[in-house]
Amino acid sequence: MPMLVESVSVSRETEERLLAYAALLKKWNERINLVSPKDIDNLWERHILDSLQLVPLIKGHKQFVDMGSGGGFPGIVVGIAADIPGVLIESDQRKSAFLREAARITGAKITVLPCRLDQAEVAPAPVVTARALAPLDKLLEWARPLLEPDGIGLFLKGRQAEQEIEDAARTWRFDVRSWPSKTSPDGVILEVSNFNRAEG
């Protein structure tokens, strides 16, 4: 399995923006469920560092789309650290309001679409991301219309990743590269490209 860079170094300014985002999330989490209560004290390791792993794979692209953004992982984190425009799609109106406020206070170049993934009207992007959203076959279905023809999907996955790849291969044809997670021994980042529905 290829190795991703050992760590993602961020500037002092970026770290301050991430800390401001984390503080806002903790405040809003008292009213709406953005992250599990048991994760709130481990927010940096469990969610922020996990999301930061995508930055080396996204840098160099002009924009990205994040599906089912929830509390902003990885969308807000990537928008801050990679400093590129992103579109975050989140159907929950309260979470969408949080994402807009997070983008505002951090200065991230983020647009929030408060709609279902199958209703999103957005220009195709070179990168589509998702974390803890759905099995791979469903992610490919949602990502396909959001992605440029030669674009890539970056999906943070857990211990079921290999099984999800096998299941998706029944209905999709795709190339996949698996990067080991730096924050979870069972985690991987799936970099998926050239995906289309299997014929027949």
Q: Measured in whole angstroms, how far is the alpha carbon of residue 148 from the centre of its chain?
A: 17
Specify the DSSP element, H or E, that contains 137: helix 136-143
The neighbour count for residue 112, using CB atoms within 10 Å, is 24
Place of tokens 């951090």: 106
Contact 78, 156 (CB under 8 A): no
Query: Any binding-site annotation on 73?
Result: yes
CA contacts within 13 A on the Cβ side of 55? 24
Binding site feature residues = 68, 73, 131
Binding site feature residues for S-adenosyl-L-methionine = 68, 73, 131
